Amino acid sequence: MKRFSLLFFLYFIANCAQAQAQPNIIFMLSDNLGYGDLGCYGGGIIRGAPTPNIDQLASEGIRFTNFNVESECTPSRSALMTGRYAVRSGTTRAVPIQGIPQGMAPWEVTIAEVLKEKGYQTAIFGKWHIGVEKGRFPTDQGFDEWWGITNSTDVVSWPTRVGFDSTLIKPFNVLGGTAETGVKPVMPYNLEARPLMDEIIQEKSVAYIKKQAASKKPFFLYIPWIAVHHPPIPHPDFKGKSGNGDFSDMMIEHDYRVGEVVKAVEAAGLSENTIIVYASDNGPDRAYFPDIGDTGPFRGYLGSVHEGSIRTPMMIRWPNKIKAGQVNNEIVSITDFMPTLTNLVGGEIPKDRAYDGVNQAGLFFNNTGKSKREGVLFFHDETFVAAKWRQFKIYFQAEGVMQEERTYGDLWAPQMYNIMQDPKELHDIGLKNLWIVGPALKQLVPFYASVRQFGLVESGAAKPGPGEVTIPFTKSSQLKELFDEMLAQAKARAMQKGKK
């Protein structure tokens, strides 16, 4: 009996120790995969590409149906890393011109940096796309090691284009290295390398998980896959697998590789205490139709802020905490990961800057089913374009969302859509529902005030300076007065509180 008690006691202690350990975090991000591509989101077999591995991952945790990203690779990845809308960080666009400073300022604090601060080991295998030069690489932003690319994958096609002049454009490379030793080119990034990239990323990720399991230290592994960005070239092992063209072949390959990473976590005995997130950075790119992702019930392509662009798959598995089989339609933003994960590990986000992300620990990990936000804001460059609020979306600028359109511009009155009744955003209900303007735009007040307080980082700048966000239909001079007054009042209240 005594012996049994002792065994039970030891077992209990061992379990406590396991439960208390900081969870490992694996964040997988696909590129330009649409809302309608995965089986668990209504795609899969109807797209000629079953996705059993990702579907299973979703079924083992919580799957989100109202996950909001930014409208391109660069802003979305910036928002993920910083917890801030890209408009604050000068990362609303990737500039396809070599030698121009761009990407995330070294001043920004990333998820990797806050996790590292709390004892995490960190690695990224894949596409960074928020910095193309020394000082702005992931190894400068909290990652211990990196193997991957700085740019978007379309660069591999450039040399095949009519009139391409290789004397004017420096060749692109895959980079690799560590924060300690620095990074250097490890192989050319070209059409030959393109189909092999995700296999290498998978192998490096699997090896890293094995190594970390042995080290017993918590880790953060960020895997921004190359798939399913154009050009659509599947790995030779998957070529022809779907019988439905290169894009479907690439989807089957992608699902397989995600599955192998999950299997590696299981094989290493880390399943219970490892958080696995899977998401897509933005919707399909219109450039390569029909070899592109599908937007499911939504409309719009990469670059627009219609739902087809900014609503993407996202799922989280953490067997220790998250009840399996949940599907949730609460509004979540890609900016929410930074504060949520920071809070989870007992870290702190800096106080000298504004955050757009909110702590979603309840919804993500504690099965509350409720989001801490009612809306999200969307921008084009430094112009406010649209706000999502509850089931409504209100546009302050018009958008061209057809495949051949790449426009946005002025409206004579805001457009509004009920995206539950009208997921394609086709039927403007604005003129009958002007009441929505006030509540939907309430989010803009703290945002605008914080821009006045903390400024913006200009594209390519090292740190924030005074900046301005254009809000159509309003006079910026009036807004300035209004928000300066509000700021002064808030400061006075804070002083008063301090005195008490």
Residue 90, both tokens: 């000068």
Q: Strand, coil or helix: what is 371? A: coil
First CA to last CA distance, the chain: 60
Which of residues 31 and 294 has its CB atom nearest to Ca ion in the complex?
A: 31
Which of residues 142 and 303 has its CB atom nearest to Ca ion in the complex?
A: 303
- Which of these segments, 263-271, 279-287, 359-367, 469-477, binds Ca ion (CB under 5 A)? 279-287
Q: Closest distance between Ca ion and the C-beta of residue 29, in Å?
A: 9
Which of residues 32 and 415 has its CB atom nearest to Ca ion in the complex?
A: 32
Read out DSSP for 469-480?
-B-TTS-HHHHH
Which of residues 73 and 223 has its CB atom nearest to Ca ion in the complex?
A: 73
- Which of these segments, 28-36, 119-127, 155-163, 428-436, binds Ca ion (CB under 5 A)? 28-36
Pick from 281, 291, 336, 399 the residue near Ca ion by CB under 5 A: 281
Are the beta carbons of 130 and 74 closer than 8 angstroms?
yes
Q: Closest distance between Ca ion and the C-beta of residue 74, in Å?
A: 8
Q: Strand, coil or helix: what is 81? A: helix
Which of residues 110 and 151 has its CB atom nearest to Ca ion in the complex?
A: 151
- Which of these segments, 114-122, 278-286, 330-338, 442-450, binds Ca ion (CB under 5 A)? 278-286
Q: Closest distance between Ca ion and the C-beta of residue 226, in Å?
A: 10
Q: Which residues have CB under 8 Å from 145's CB, separation 6+? A: 122, 123, 124, 139, 177, 178, 179
Taking the alpha carbons of 442, 447, 449, 452 in that order, is the dihedral positive or negative?
negative
Q: Closest distance between Ca ion and the C-beta of residue 470, in Å?
A: 25
Residue 236, both tokens: 């030779």
Q: Closest distance between Ca ion and the C-beta of residue 132, in Å?
A: 16
> Applying CB under 5 A, does 144 fall inside the site for Ca ion?
no
Could you give the dihedral angle defined by the CA atoms of residues 177, 181, 182 and 185, in that order, rounded to the nearest 10 degrees? Answer: -50
Q: Closest distance between Ca ion and the C-beta of residue 126, in Å?
A: 12
Which of residues 73 and 200 has its CB atom nearest to Ca ion in the complex?
A: 73
> Applying CB under 5 A, does 73 fall inside the site for Ca ion?
yes
Which of residues 62 and 73 has its CB atom nearest to Ca ion in the complex?
A: 73
Quick one: which H or E segment has residue 50? none
Which of residues 281 and 294 has its CB atom nearest to Ca ion in the complex?
A: 281
- Which of these segments, 31-39, 182-190, 204-212, 347-355, binds Ca ion (CB under 5 A)? 31-39
Distance of alpha carbon 443 from alpha carbon 423, whole angstroms: 22
Q: Which residues have CB under 8 Å from 194's CB, separation 6+? A: 153, 156, 226, 231, 233
CA atoms within 13 A on the CB side of 473: 15
Q: Closest distance between Ca ion and the C-beta of residue 53, in Å?
A: 21
HEC string of 102-141 equals CECCCCCCCHHHHHHHCCCEEEEEEECCCECCCCCCHHHC
Q: Closest distance between Ca ion and the C-beta of residue 146, in Å?
A: 18
Q: Closest distance between Ca ion and the C-beta of residue 342, in Å?
A: 24
Which of residues 218 and 283 has its CB atom nearest to Ca ion in the complex?
A: 283
CB-based burial of residue 160 (10 Å sphere; 0-12 exposed, 13-18 middle, 19+ buried)? exposed
Among all residues, whose Cβ is closest to Ca ion?
73
- Number of CB atoms found within 10 A of residue 345's CB: 17
194-223 positions binding Ca ion, by CB under 5 A = none
Distance of alpha carbon 114 from alpha carbon 220, whole angstroms: 11
Which of residues 301 and 365 has its CB atom nearest to Ca ion in the complex?
A: 301
The length of the chain is: 500
> Applying CB under 5 A, does 312 fall inside the site for Ca ion?
no
- Which of these segments, 49-57, 203-211, 282-290, 473-481, binds Ca ion (CB under 5 A)? 282-290
Quick one: which H or E segment has residue 279? strand 274-280
Pick from 32, 102, 360, 443 the residue near Ca ion by CB under 5 A: 32
Which of residues 31 and 255 has its CB atom nearest to Ca ion in the complex?
A: 31
DSSP 77: H
> Applying CB under 5 A, does 31 fall inside the site for Ca ion?
yes
Pick from 66, 122, 273, 282 the residue near Ca ion by CB under 5 A: 282
Distance of alpha carbon 23 from alpha carbon 155, whole angstroms: 37
Which of residues 120 and 225 has its CB atom nearest to Ca ion in the complex?
A: 225
Q: Closest distance between Ca ion and the C-beta of residue 73, in Å?
A: 3
- Number of CB atoms found within 10 A of residue 488's CB: 10
> Applying CB under 5 A, does 334 fall inside the site for Ca ion?
no
Count of chain residues binding Ca ion (CB under 5 A): 5
Q: Closest distance between Ca ion and the C-beta of residue 287, in Å?
A: 12
Q: Closest distance between Ca ion and the C-beta of residue 286, in Å?
A: 12
Which residues of the chain form contacts with Ca ion (CB under 5 A)?
A: 31-32, 73, 281-282
